[in-house]
Structure 1
Amino acid sequence: MSVRVGLLGATGAVGQRFVQLLEDHPTFEIAAVTASPESAGKSYRDAAKWRVDTPIPDHVAEMTVRETTPEALPDDLDLLFSSLPSGVGAAVEPELCRAGYVVSSNSSNERMAEDVPLTIPEVNPDHLDLLETQREERGWDGALVKNPNCSTITMVPTLAALDQFGLERVHVATLQAVSGAGYSGVTSMEIIDNVLPHIGGEEAKMETESRKLLGDVENGELSLHDVDVSASCNRVPSLDGHLENVFAELDANPDPEAVHEALESLDGADLPSAPDQPIHVFADPDRPQPRLDRMRGKGMQISAGGLRETAEGVQYNCLAHNTIRGAAGASVLNGELLVEEGWV
């Protein structure tokens, strides 16, 4: 089965990851690329300042970049992947869904909308049931699915594994790589020999998206998990890979061995881009580390380590590749889930 896909915002950092990840994909075939009006009409090779660590695929390089409008896209696309800036996504994605396109989006707009699935396939695939409500309430022939923020997706699968012990409160401090801000997002003068102890809007995303991802969908309605999440987000001078220090307060009192087993027992998703084991747990207290561990599972596996008991529960570290598992790869995985569940 071949699924023809379009990439929205294809020339940016996450858009380039989409191109890389979809090269030789067993199901998806890139059939169109879009970008800003300034790039429209150029070849992708000329419009994209290619910065990914593998060569640009020849057939994509020669594609003509289109504008990001329903009128500019081919009618025979089966699925769209979006890495648009949130302001552009908020304006364009509903138009595309109204025109009948199914959109798997990494953009932050509408992640918390009650009828928009915010999905990690290993955590909450049943949230796709919200699409029935979405279509009914919005009158769309298409559909919109979101993946969470890159820092949220690093932590939430670990929380899902620990929910069996009764999640009550979570405190997290992140050490986030510069690629999460985009190529021009943080200047060298800001980040070299430095740490930025604030990332605008990031704390709120972690605190709200986590509760939605861990919540329940029943009869087309969403209820948030009652866990209380507080986050402190920091930009550090690593290139890729978000490392997070998590303190989880639990109703039960599991020992580190039980926590280790719970984390490594989280069920995987039977999808082409999904790792067989979503979470790998290191016994070494100094792992995971971004440079050593971000590419585990081709960048799609989450790593954890440093497990220790606290008075209220457990403390641990977790890590994921922020532009693969935390962005483009997450949207690709959701696209695979949409195909598997018959929405595409």
Structure 2
Amino acid sequence: MGRKRFRVAVLGATGMVGQWLVHLLDRHPWFQVVALTGSDRSVGRPYGEACRWLLSAPMPPWAASMIVQPTEPGFEADLVLSALPSEIAREVEPRFAAAGYLVASNASAYRMASDVPLVMPDVNPDHLDLLSRQREIRGWSGALLTNPNCTTTAVVLPLKALMPYGVRRAHLVSLQALSGAGYPGVPALEIVDNILPYIAGEEEKLEREPRKLLGRLANGAVREADLALSAQTNRVPTLDGHLVCLSVELAERISPEAAMRAMAAYRPPEEVADLPSAVPQPIVVRTEPDRPQPRLDRMAGGGMSVVVGRVQPCPVFTLKFVALTHNTIRGAAGAALFNAEAALRWAGRV
């Protein structure tokens, strides 16, 4: 298992998430990149010329020499990883699924569609069964699945670990890094010495997506989890790492120590635990009074673990704590890659 090589295309490869996908795919044990796509101004040029590389790790030589292709079906690939902006993804991704490609998308365009799985493999791999219903409804030979918003990732894993205690409602306040806005992103004159208390569309995603992810699949549909979420989102001048402050009401009034034990003990379901992008400890719990911090903790688990700290009693609800996710790895490129691996497992191909 794991030695078969699957041909992969990256859509929107020149953007920030596309660059992270190229970086993460560089030494992936299952995948070989056969196509990189970009906008009209990039098509026909070597990726090394068309892409303004923004990562500290060097661009892989094989990627630098690849010619950027149009974002249209036609290349020979087993699956597609989409880093397209949502407005483009809405139009393009169904064409790839209809053409027979398995599409793992980072875009928000289809996350809440009733027949499209919104998946974190270490949370709800059973939701991949929606793909059968999707193919039946849409007549696709391929399929489309999505990963959640980058900030949602920080929230869902801790809440999943606490679900046995009856999660009822939560108040969420995010401090979101600059890389979440893409490149060129937020103008310096707006963010230096400042915090922006509004990110378009983010609060709605943070209030809706966890309910679908934590919901129950039955009779070909997801019944969303019965929990109330109130979110406030802020852009802050850190480079990578989204921090979320949570206050959570539980049906059972457990102690902070019990909550920390539950989160630290959470493990991915057996069917996905051996996937290349899975980490043995999805939630890392810190006990120091000043952790997690983006600069110190965002690379936990290679950027795929959520780091939780400052778990305390909440005078309004039950518990309050802080959760950190690497927004461009666990919250974006790494999430799409993880989903692609899980979808291949679901399809019985690995």
Above 0.5 in TM-score?
A: yes
Q: For 1:159-198, list aligned pairs within 5 A.
A: 159-198=159-198
The aligned residue for residue 314 of structure 1 is 319
Q: For 1:70-149, list aligned pairs within 5 A.
A: 70=73, 73-74=74-75, 76-149=76-149
Q: For 1:30-41, list aligned pairs within 5 A.
A: 30-41=33-44
Q: Does the residue aligned with 2:37 lie in a helix, a strand or coil?
A: strand
Q: What is the Cα deviation at residue 159 of structure 1?
A: 0.5
Distance 2:348 2:153 in 1: 23
2:77 paired with 1:60: no
Counterpart pick for 2:275 among 271, 274, 279: 271
Q: Does the residue aligned with 1:35 lie in a helix, a strand or coil?
A: coil
Q: What is the Cα deviation at residue 340 of structure 1?
A: 1.7
The aligned residue for residue 45 of structure 2 is 42
Q: What is the Cα deviation at residue 110 of structure 1?
A: 0.9
Q: What is the Cα deviation at residue 154 of structure 1?
A: 1.2
2:335 paired with 1:334: no
Kindly report the root-mean-square deviation, in angstroms, between the aligned alpha carbons of the 2 structures. 0.9
Q: Partner amino acid for 1:297?
A: G
Structure 1 residue ranges, 4+ long, deviating more than 2 angstroms after superposition: none
Cα 1:322–1:163 change in 2 (3 A) is: same
Distance 2:77 2:212 in 1: 30
Q: What is the Cα deviation at residue 38 of structure 1?
A: 1.4
Spell out, residue by residue over 1:267-318, the C-alpha distance to the aligned partner (whole angstroms, 9 max, x if none).
1232111111000001112100000000111111110000001242100000
Q: What is the Cα deviation at residue 241 of structure 1?
A: 0.2
With normalisation by structure 2, the TM-score equals 0.96
Q: Partner amino acid for 2:48?
A: R
The aligned residue for residue 219 of structure 2 is 219
Spell out, residue by residue over 1:83-109, the C-alpha distance to the aligned partner (whole angstroms, 9 max, x if none).
101010000000111111110000110
Distance 1:173 1:310 in 2: 15
Q: Does the residue aligned with 2:217 lie in a helix, a strand or coil?
A: strand
Q: What is the Cα deviation at residue 219 of structure 1?
A: 2.5
Q: For 1:276-287, list aligned pairs within 5 A.
A: 276-287=280-291
Spell out, residue by residue over 1:191-226, the C-alpha distance to the aligned partner (whole angstroms, 9 max, x if none).
110000010000000111010000011121111001
Distance 2:281 2:126 in 1: 20
Distance 1:155 1:276 in 2: 19
Distance 2:219 2:128 in 1: 12
Distance 2:138 2:183 in 1: 35
Q: Partner amino acid for 1:61?
A: A
Distance 2:204 2:116 in 1: 18
2:329 paired with 1:324: yes
Distance 2:348 2:141 in 1: 11
Distance 2:348 2:135 in 1: 12
Percent identity reads: 50
Distance 1:173 1:316 in 2: 11
Distance 1:205 1:305 in 2: 23
Distance 2:230 2:277 in 1: 31
The aligned residue for residue 252 of structure 1 is 252
Unaligned runs of 5+ in 2: none
Q: What is the Cα deviation at residue 343 of structure 1?
A: 6.0
Q: What is the Cα deviation at residue 341 of structure 1?
A: 1.8
Distance 2:311 2:160 in 1: 16
With normalisation by structure 1, the TM-score equals 0.98
Spell out, residue by residue over 1:17-52, the C-alpha distance to the aligned partner (whole angstroms, 9 max, x if none).
000001110001111000111111111001100111
